[in-house]
Chains A and B, each alone.
Chain A
Amino acid sequence: MPMIIDPETVAIRDAFSVAETRAEFSRRRFLQVSAAAGGGAALAMSPLLSHLEAFAAPPLKSTDAVLVMIMLSGGNDSLNMVVPHSDSNYHALRPTIGLHTNQTLNINSTVGLHPGLTKLKHRYDAGDVAIIQGVGYNPSDFSHFSSMANWMQGWGGANVSYPTGWIGRYLDGLPNAATEALYAVTLNTNGVPLHLVGQQARGSSLPMSVGGRFGVDRSGQDDARLYDDIASIAQSGRTGLGPWGDTIAKANAGVLRLAGRIAPAYPDQSQVPDDWFARQMQLVGRLVNRNLGIRVLNVTLDGFDTHTNELVNHADLMTSLDAGIEMLFTTLSPTWADNVVAMTFSEFGRRPNENDGGGTDHGTAASHFVVGPRVKGGLYGQMPPLADAKLVDYGNLEPQLDYRRIYATLLHQWLNADDRQILGKTYPQIGFIESHP
């Protein structure tokens, strides 16, 4: 297994989602330092954590690009999303859950989209969807957690002592990275996922609704005073209660500042769609339209660990994915729609052969989408061969294209960033970006 990540289970788990503050990493360094110093080095480091003070990023210019990351959590079975519908090997491996030529939304004689992706197919036909096939890495890792940690880190360089995420390292290069908490946001995740965490920069997690919420309305004198009382605990910066005490105090104060700033972006309940993923994508669109300075937005569609009953469960997920992407681009105002690209990612694809539960087990390579008006639509990469002799790692797909090539392309061509520095290595780019705003 690649040793770019801390092999300790707990460290991987911790890295999977981390605070908006550097407290945990600071704490780890503290423990290392204090171990080296015989345990007494105490809390002299508590370099906490000015960045919750800010909650304001500079607004985007019309030439700035926005990236929406769609995390397909659980390991998307992309063979039933981008389907090799006429491959007899595919049908032999999937006698009950395989999708047939007359069911799929066909792109050509060999590849078709899941029948739930009707709106995405329209966008594909309009030239706005890149389908990148056979994406993965070697050697594959079948664990949800360490595999997702790999995708989130996106690091191809030498071993690092603690992990950072590829978007976090991109944010590190923006002005005032350590203090701008709205450069990147995540919805519907517990904590900030690793990919939004850099050496300095750190995304924020935003709630799905704010109606009637604490701190939003300061019109009542007693309410306003209460909010100020709470913030006063963080005033000195030091609570005397250690890094976590300081972090809690600052987070409470930060919530109160954040509340006023983001509340106007939230829709009335009457405008909110039923589908949870579409709700996230609507909010993403509205946050972009408000131009709060957010460069990267992360959303999650969960439930892809389809070990059983996949035909039904995966179809529901495809319908949600389709509705959500459509919701994003129809919510975006004309001012911003051309500045947004959405991409999918997932920890792994799934096993080509179905199991007896009508599902599939953890696998390797997968296809992914990049969508937007400035995307050069089409098929990229290659569908991995499904013939028995071509399968690897106990019947799995052989990855055709390293996932970091997608990152390199987006960093260089879309976000105007130094892909080599951010990824630790030069990866060949793929031509799916047509033009920059």
Chain B
Amino acid sequence: MATTDDVAHLMRRAGFGASASKLQTLNGLTIAEIVDQLIDDVVVPDDANPPDFFTDPNVQNYEWEYRLQQWWLDRMATAPKPLQERLAFFWHGTLCSSNSKVDDMELMYAQNKLFRDAGMGNYRTLIHTMALQPAMLHYLDNAYNVEGAANENFARELMELFTLGVDQYTQADIIAAAKAWTGYNVDDNDASVFVYYDDRHDHSVKTFMGQSRDWSGPDIIDFLLQENSTTKMISAKFIAKKLWTFFAYPNPDQTIVDELAQVLYDNDLELKPVLRALFNHTQFYSTTAKQGLVRSPVEWVAAIIKYTGLSASIINPQWYMDDMGQTLFEPPNVAGWKNNQYWVNSSAMWQRADFVGNIVNAIFNWNSLPNIDTSIRDTLNTILNGASSTRFVDAVDWALAKFGILTPSTNTRRQLVAAVTRQYHNGNWDERTWVNLVTVVMLSPEFNLA
């Protein structure tokens, strides 16, 4: 049977964390059983329609981007199938498009929906669909890639960043693939719609990876991910490594990559089997894995929403996240976000501290806001004002557990107890005691690790 620590780790990585009560319901199950639940549970799709605000006449177009950021962050924190949101987030940072260039949130939402609906399906199918969605056509300029002066942007990144990895192809391959993708454009009269213009496609015989044919764009994907077993395996390794890096830790041993890649390859690039292998892997539960990732700003904010019960529309994280280094629908470039060291620098951590300072002071203390869950404040006040001789320790343990930290380090727990005790003995016993406690918990190393 699984340890609580293992289950909590799994739920943090395969989702955005689990409450103590959720962990209780998983008690007695094996890891394999929980993984099956995470992957196989059918959840009634509750997002068959786009979010309401797209059709709300009171919401202006310019508000769509931050509204969709809020919508997705809330969904990460509360959706019944968190692994689905995790995978959507993985693909958003892997098959990147940015609204800074696409400039159309309905197209960005369509891509987001694809990553949600198909993110646990087949990798090759996902690449095919993604390639022809207008968000990607605009982001990597294939929208205007036509015979005569082929635009290489999409052709290059398809191979460098979406399938093979750098150095697995030549510049001649890029040029041939760019020609193959000519004509896969957007409608002259409606740039939000994909159209294939046969008369703008370069029908010449092109030599791609040693094969001379009249390649079409989708032919390139089929060659890389189906027809040619070498490139198919290279791509399987490329994506397996990205998955392990995203869910477990960066720079894995090649044996782990090879093992997962083989699962992908043997299942014709279906993603569920490789996810099952990943979450059941013994190394996934190693100390290296448990200590191996820093929560990205999106993961950290989603956890705050989850554990405080304060929705994104109340705490408005979207105005802070750019300076934390991660804005949804705005990856910094086509290579997406990186990890760990990328999040731990002075300006980014400073912004996390600012955000926590503001939500704790402005929101928890703000009685006039409707529908605010005040249970954190009330419970901590009750414990701290109680008669128990262990009330400082109890308050610290309760606050840590409330934020999903069931096994805090000795160091953190000791310093938090010391801080609460200090506050008491300085005769300054008021609301600031729990405010400071909750602030430090959200900034603690435990809460900032994934």
Contact = CB atoms under 8 A, between A and B. Distances in A.
A13 B338 contact: yes
A241 B291 contact: yes
Given A207-B351, A222-B432, A246 B344 contact: no
Contacts of A361: 151-153
A13 B156 CA distance: 16
Interface in B433-448: 435-436, 439-440, 443-446, 448
B346 A241 contact: no
A205 B346 contact: yes
Contact of B347 (A35, A207, A222, A229): A207
B21 interface: no
Contacts of A245: 291, 409, 445-446, 449
Given A232-B419, A255-B350, A361-B151, 18 more contacts: A9-B160, A14-B251, A19-B341, A31-B288, A43-B287, A143-B156, A190-B332, A191-B341, A191-B345, A225-B426, A226-B440, A233-B411, A239-B445, A241-B445, A248-B448, A356-B146, A356-B149, A357-B151
A92 to B, nearest CB: 14
Interface string A224-260: 0110011011011011111111111101101100110
Given A239-B411, A248-B294, A249-B445, A191 B342 contact: yes
A226 B422 CA distance: 11
A144 B333 CA distance: 10
A239 B149 CA distance: 57
Interface string A274-293: 00000000000000000000
A17 B338 contact: yes
Contacts of A239: 409, 411-412, 445
Interface of A: 1, 7-14, 16-21, 23-24, 27-28, 31, 34-35, 39, 42-43, 142-146, 190-192, 204-208, 213-215, 221-222, 225-226, 229-230, 232-233, 235-236, 238-249, 251-252, 254-255, 258-259, 305, 307-308, 353-357, 359, 361-362, 393-394
Contact of B171 (A27, A215, A249, A394): A394
A240 B338 contact: no
A189 B343 CA distance: 11
A347 B446 CA distance: 38
A19 B338 CA distance: 11
B363 interface: no
The listed residue with most A CB atoms (<10 A of its CB), out of B171, B353, B423, is: B353
Interface in B329-388: 332-335, 338, 340-351, 353-354, 356-357
Contacts of B245: 10
Contacts of B194: none
A9 B338 contact: no
Contacts of B152: 361-362
Contacts of B146: 356
Nearest to A358: B144
A232 B291 contact: no
B412 A213 contact: no
Interface of B: 141, 144-146, 148-153, 156, 160-161, 165-167, 171-172, 174-175, 238, 241-242, 245, 250-251, 253, 286-288, 291-294, 323, 325, 332-335, 338, 340-351, 353-354, 356-357, 409-412, 415-416, 418-419, 422-423, 426, 428, 432, 435-436, 439-440, 443-446, 448-449
Contacts of B435: 226
A222 B436 contact: yes
B348 A258 contact: no
Contacts of B241: 10
Contact of A307 (B141, B436, B448): B141
The listed residue with most B CB atoms (<10 A of its CB), out of A20, A143, A307, is: A307
Contacts of B171: 142, 393-394
A353 B151 CA distance: 11
A236 B338 CA distance: 29
Nearest to B360: A226
A16 B162 CA distance: 18
Nearest to A356: B149
B340 A244 contact: yes
A207 B345 CA distance: 10
B436 A255 contact: no
A175 to B, nearest CB: 22
The 9 A-B pairs at the shortest CB distance, nearest first, are namely A242-B291, A19-B341, A357-B144, A240-B409, A245-B445, A207-B347, A214-B353, A229-B419, A190-B325
Contact of A142 (B156, B250, B342, B440): B156
Contact of B291 (A20, A206, A243): A243
23 contacts: A1-B167, A14-B341, A24-B340, A34-B288, A142-B156, A143-B160, A145-B166, A204-B345, A207-B323, A215-B350, A226-B432, A232-B418, A233-B412, A233-B445, A236-B411, A239-B411, A239-B412, A244-B291, A244-B292, A249-B445, A308-B144, A356-B149, A362-B152
B152 to A, nearest CB: 5
A230 B440 contact: yes
B445 A42 contact: no
The listed residue with most A CB atoms (<10 A of its CB), out of B323, B356, B443, is: B443
B149 A355 contact: yes
Contacts of A214: 350, 353-354, 356-357
The listed residue with most A CB atoms (<10 A of its CB), out of B141, B150, B245, is: B141
Contacts of B251: 10-11, 14, 27-28, 31
Contact of A21 (B341, B411, B428): B341
Nearest to B412: A233
Contacts of B422: 225, 229
Contact of A192 (B153, B345, B411, B449): B345
A310 to B, nearest CB: 12
A190 B250 CA distance: 18
Contacts of B342: 17, 19, 190-191
Given A23-B340, A35-B253, A245-B449, A258 B346 contact: yes
B346 A145 contact: no
Nearest to B357: A214
The listed residue with most B CB atoms (<10 A of its CB), out of A7, A18, A305, A357, is: A357
Nearest to A395: B175
Contacts of B356: 214
Contact of A19 (B174, B344, B419): B344
Contacts of B445: 233, 239, 241, 244-246, 248-249
B148 A242 contact: no
A432 to B, nearest CB: 31
Contacts of A23: 340-341, 344
A233 B436 contact: no
A11 B167 CA distance: 13
Contacts of B294: 244, 247-248
A398 to B, nearest CB: 15
Contact of B449 (A43, A244, A305): A244
A429 B150 CA distance: 39
A356 B436 CA distance: 59
The listed residue with most A CB atoms (<10 A of its CB), out of B288, B340, B351, is: B340
A245 B411 CA distance: 11
Nearest to A215: B353
B72 to A, nearest CB: 20
Given A232-B418, A242-B287, A251-B346, A355 B340 contact: no
